[in-house]
Chains A and B, each alone.
Chain A
């Protein structure tokens, strides 16, 4: 079973920031938080991952709470092409571990 809970769906206005929450209250010390997204009929696309510090890359920012029990993915300026299902996944750092996907959050960016 997935170790995370996410809202089923969210809407966001084009050009605004999209903030996608994720709860992972049972995360253990060596587990990372990963975010992937899946646009319709495509394979999942890596977005970002982090352990305990906030992370930022060209796609998004990841904010992890101090107790690591929850996190937020931020898309700073959502576009229509960001409409997708976003998956928050908790996974250990060992090579060869697979990803356990929950149902994710279906983000709809509205014009």
Chain B
């Protein structure tokens, strides 16, 4: 299957700092990428949909000014957690679907980034 990478895999930061998480599609172009958040023992919750060359679409309750998403190329989307606080500590996962062909309809998920805010 397709490969999606995330960097870093794990980050620990102090409260008030900003953290950038990268999501890359390694072997295909991804017009759309999705960002999820997962708290311990909970399921994945969609945060936003990232579209190449346009503004991201955020789910209700997700602050767009706090979680900045940039999708500047067809292989890279970034999520920046600005002024992080301990309650932002979570497992952040991106996913994408190759191209726009209907046959590629399963999503491929990255390995996730575990953010710990002290």
Contacts and interface: CB of A to CB of B under 8 A. Distances in A.
Contact of B111 (A34, A43, A95): A43
A93 B104 CA distance: 10
Contacts of A101: 36, 43-45
Nearest to B35: A98
Interface in A96-111: 96, 98-104
B97 A96 contact: yes
Contacts of A100: 46
B32 A41 contact: no
Interface string A57-71: 000000000000000
Interface range on chain A: under 10, 10 to 19, 20 to 34, or 35 or more? 20 to 34
B52 to A, nearest CB: 11
B44 A44 contact: yes
A46 B97 contact: no
Interface in B40-79: 42-46, 49
Interface of B: 1, 4, 6, 31-32, 34, 36, 42-46, 49, 91, 93, 95, 97, 100-102, 105-112, 114
4 A-B pairs closest in CB distance: A43-B109, A101-B44, A101-B43, A44-B109
30 contacts: A34-B106, A38-B44, A41-B91, A42-B112, A43-B93, A43-B109, A43-B111, A44-B95, A45-B109, A46-B1, A46-B106, A46-B108, A46-B109, A93-B105, A95-B97, A95-B101, A95-B102, A95-B105, A96-B32, A96-B97, A98-B34, A98-B95, A99-B34, A99-B46, A99-B107, A100-B46, A101-B36, A101-B43, A102-B43, A103-B42
